[in-house]
Amino acid sequence: MSNESTERKQSKQDQLIIFDTTLRDGEQSPGASMTKDEKVRIAKALQKMRVDVIEAGFPIASQGDFESVKAVASVVKESTVCGLARALEKDIARAGEALKPAESSRIHTFIATSPIHMKMKLRMQPDDVLAQAVDAVKIARQFTDNIEFSPEDAGRSEIDFLCRVIEAVIDAGATTINIPDTVGYNIPHQFGGLISTLLERIPNSDKAIFSVHCHNDLGLAVGNSLSAVLNGARQVECTINGLGERAGNASLEEIVMAVRTRQDVFACDTNLDTTQIVPCSKLVSGITGFPVQPNKAIVGANAFAHESGIHQDGILKSRETYEIMRAQDVGWSDNRMVLGKHSGRNAFKSRLQELNIEFATEQELNEAFSRFKDLADKKHEIFDEDLHALVADTNWAIENEHYKLVSLRVCSETGEIPNASIVLEIGGEEVSASASGGGPVDASFRAIESVVNSGTQLQLYSVNNITSGTDAQGEVTVRLEKAGRIVSGQGADTDIVIASANAYINALNKLEKNIDREHPQLGDV
Ligand code: KIV
Ligand code: ZN
């Protein structure tokens, strides 16, 4: 890279824009679909963390997606709210409509530019793709001046064509150029090189911010994004906990903390309030039912736990011997015990407010408070994590009335076959059943299925303890598949068999809500 172009890049490099796509690409993880209210809760948490741009969804995908983007656009005031649109007039108009209430909005339009996507998916000639990209940006300008353009599969596109398309869309008014490694194929030095080549070769590159959007198929999404930043990218697209299509996207927490921790290497920084990272991670994990692996950087339960005696000794003498970040700087707090059996409604409500959790109605709050009281009878200390799980359960209890667990009794004894007897309320009527199984959870699922006959396949069953101790709540995730549709259900209880049954029923209720949505990257343009 020449000195001159390095200087040009560095003159803009104080701020690294964080573009969060948890609500759009994150939701493309099979089974991670979120309701409108859940998206609004996450969007508020992202705003509190000072994320610059929140991609709230793909408005043309379904009526639900449209409503969600509109709802996020209505409540978020301090971050820019973005909607995704293929390079089609109908998509762009729908995004423009959904974003109307936003204080600051962005339309993100895209079309594939790699030879394989143009030939096999779009069945279009490169010149027609270029013309459609330019038209899309011009149409988007009728709605906003803040336009992002992505040449999908840029990571496998031919450089000359990529340069032509980008130059043309900047001329047409695109203000951010996002370079996606759609299939996670790139390697850090190569992807960084791509960014510096684009910045150098495209004559009007200084008229736009260059962004990257990396997928994690080879586990390189964060590495590729950081390499791009070192080479002049000034926006990174990422998701909380690295959620996203297939192996996911670059994880926000890793990008932000790498840049913040290594200010000796990066000549830019984000505006983020990093103390919101862990609460946000827990919120997203609780809502989507995608657990965070314990050894996950920054947000995993073990990220700051020092097991070996040598490390513990070093930490006691001087924290920096083995710690490069402070746990409290990313939102881990020691003072986690919040409420108990004797806490009243006001204490409960004000703690929820501190956690950024609001209820739309008094009925929802009452329902949550009554669950809190039940929980406090079983469990001495109620932590923030318990409250998140409890609130997630409450929302589902209210939204999904079709199947309800009335009671469950399980028998599990050494040498005996476990048996479960269940009473379900289905569409207002009580139905009982019992079944045997390999264990109490298996027996409970069989009992539920003996009355529901859902025709689903169990794809995943996982249990996590929300906090520590044997009285901790178990948080269960169940992923069910039916005719290509995948849903995740969650349940939390101090009794993991009850949590499991609730998770299973939660997934069945989600399947009941048969919402069809288009996928942004499949189908014709
Ligand atoms: O992965 C991708 O290419 C995308 C685009 C829509 C930016 O998600
Ligand atoms: Zn993507």
Look at residue 310 in the predicted model and tell me its pLDDT.
Answer: 67
- Check whether residue 195 and residue 156 sit in a common domain: yes
* Cα gap 490→389, rounded to integer Å: 9
Residue of 117, 101, 59 whose CA lies nearest to 84:
59
Give residue-wise pLDDT tens across range 448-493.
Answer: 999 999 999 999 998 988 777 788 888 899 999 998 888 888 898 9
Whether 331 is covered by a domain: the verdict is: no
If you measure from the C-alpha of residue 467 to the centroid of ligand 1, how many angstroms do you get, rounded to a whole number? 36
Give residue-wise pLDDT tens across range 48-96.
Answer: 999 999 999 999 999 999 999 999 999 999 999 999 999 999 999 999 9
If you measure from the C-alpha of residue 521 to the centroid of ligand 1, how many angstroms do you get, rounded to a whole number? 7
Longest CA–CA span in the chain (Å) reads 78
Look at residue 516 in the predicted model and tell me its pLDDT.
Answer: 67
- Check whether residue 143 and residue 224 sit in a common domain: yes
- Check whether residue 140 and residue 205 sit in a common domain: yes
pTM of structure: 0.87
Residue 218 sits in a domain whose CATH number is 3.20.20.70
Ligand nearest to the CA of 156: 1
What burial letters (b/e) apply to 53-81, b meaning 16+ CB within 10 Å? Answer: bbbbbbbbbeebbbebbbbbbeebeebbb
- Check whether residue 447 and residue 473 sit in a common domain: yes
Pairing of the two strands 53-57 and 17-20: parallel
Ligand 1: does its nearest atom lie under 6 Å from the Cβ of 180?
A: yes
Look at residue 140 in the predicted model and tell me its pLDDT.
Answer: 98
If you measure from the C-alpha of residue 218 to the centroid of ligand 1, how many angstroms do you get, rounded to a whole number? 16
Residue of 181, 86, 180 whose CA lies nearest to 133:
86
If you measure from the C-alpha of residue 260 to the centroid of ligand 2, how many angstroms do you get, rounded to a whole number? 24
- Mark which of 345, 374, 393 sits at the end of a domain: 393
If you measure from the C-alpha of residue 457 to the centroid of ligand 2, how many angstroms do you get, rounded to a whole number? 27
- Mark which of 368, 393, 418 sits at the end of a domain: 393
Give residue-wise pLDDT tens across range 26-55.
Answer: 999 988 889 898 899 999 999 999 999 999
Q: What is the mean pLDDT of the chain?
A: 90
Whether 295 is covered by a domain: the verdict is: no
Ligand nearest to the CA of 111: 1
Ligand 1 atom with the smallest distance to the CA of 25 is 8
Give percent of the chain with pLDDT exceeding 70: 92
Residues, beta carbon < 5 Å, ion ligand 2 = 25
User: To test ligand 1's pocket by mutation, which of 111, 150, 178, 243 has the most ligand atoms within 8 angstroms of CB?
Assistant: 150
398 pLDDT higher than 60: no
- Check whether residue 119 and residue 10 sit in a common domain: yes
- Check whether residue 379 and residue 403 sit in a common domain: no
Give percent of the chain with pLDDT exceeding 90: 67
Task: Report the pLDDT averaged over residues 404-409.
Answer: 95
Whether 307 is covered by a domain: the verdict is: no
Pairing of the two strands 80-86 and 53-57: parallel
Ligand 1: does its nearest atom lie under 6 Å from the Cβ of 149?
A: no
Q: Which of 208-222, 341-355, 498-512 has the highest mean pLDDT?
A: 208-222
Look at residue 394 in the predicted model and tell me its pLDDT.
Answer: 64
* Confidence category of residue 157, pLDDT binned at 50, 70, 90: very high
Ligand 1 atom with the smallest distance to the CA of 150 is 7
Print the domain residue range for 363: 336-393
Ligand 1: does its nearest atom lie under 6 Å from the Cβ of 9?
A: no
Whether 135 is covered by a domain: the verdict is: yes
- Taking CA atoms, 519 is separated from 39, 487, 507, in Å, by 18, 16, 21
7 pLDDT higher than 50: no
* Cα gap 202→182, rounded to integer Å: 22
Look at residue 308 in the predicted model and tell me its pLDDT.
Answer: 64
- Check whether residue 388 and residue 431 sit in a common domain: no
- Check whether residue 356 and residue 480 sit in a common domain: no
- Residue 313 CB neighbour total at 10 angstroms: 12
- Check whether residue 226 and residue 342 sit in a common domain: no
Residue 417 sits in a domain whose CATH number is 3.30.160.270
Give residue-wise pLDDT tens across range 96-108.
Answer: 999 999 999 999 9
The residue whose CA has the least distance to atom 2 of ligand 1 is 182
Look at residue 1 in the predicted model and tell me its pLDDT.
Answer: 40
- Check whether residue 270 and residue 137 sit in a common domain: yes
Look at residue 85 in the predicted model and tell me its pLDDT.
Answer: 98
Ligand nearest to the CA of 84: 1
Do 512 and 485 contact (CB within 8 A), yes or no?
Answer: no
Whether 479 is covered by a domain: the verdict is: yes
Task: Report the pLDDT averaged over residues 201-215.
Answer: 98
Ligand 1: does its nearest atom lie under 6 Å from the Cβ of 213?
A: yes
Whether 209 is covered by a domain: the verdict is: yes
- Check whether residue 343 and residue 248 sit in a common domain: no
> What domain count does the chain have?
3
User: To test ligand 1's pocket by mutation, which of 82, 113, 121, 152 has the most ligand atoms within 8 angstroms of CB?
Assistant: 152
Q: How many CA atoms lie within 13 A of 287 on its CB side?
A: 27
- Mark which of 393, 415, 430 sits at the end of a domain: 393
More confident residue, 33 or 176: 176
Whether 321 is covered by a domain: the verdict is: no
If you measure from the C-alpha of residue 122 to the centroid of ligand 1, how many angstroms do you get, rounded to a whole number? 15
Do 272 and 50 contact (CB within 8 A), yes or no?
Answer: yes
* Cα gap 120→236, rounded to integer Å: 29
Ligand 1 atom with the smallest distance to the CA of 153 is 3
Look at residue 514 in the predicted model and tell me its pLDDT.
Answer: 65
Look at residue 174 in the predicted model and tell me its pLDDT.
Answer: 98
- Check whether residue 509 and residue 496 sit in a common domain: yes
Whether 320 is covered by a domain: the verdict is: no
Residue of 245, 216, 155, 219 whose CA lies nearest to 191:
155
Q: Which residues pair with 410 in a beta bridge?
A: 420
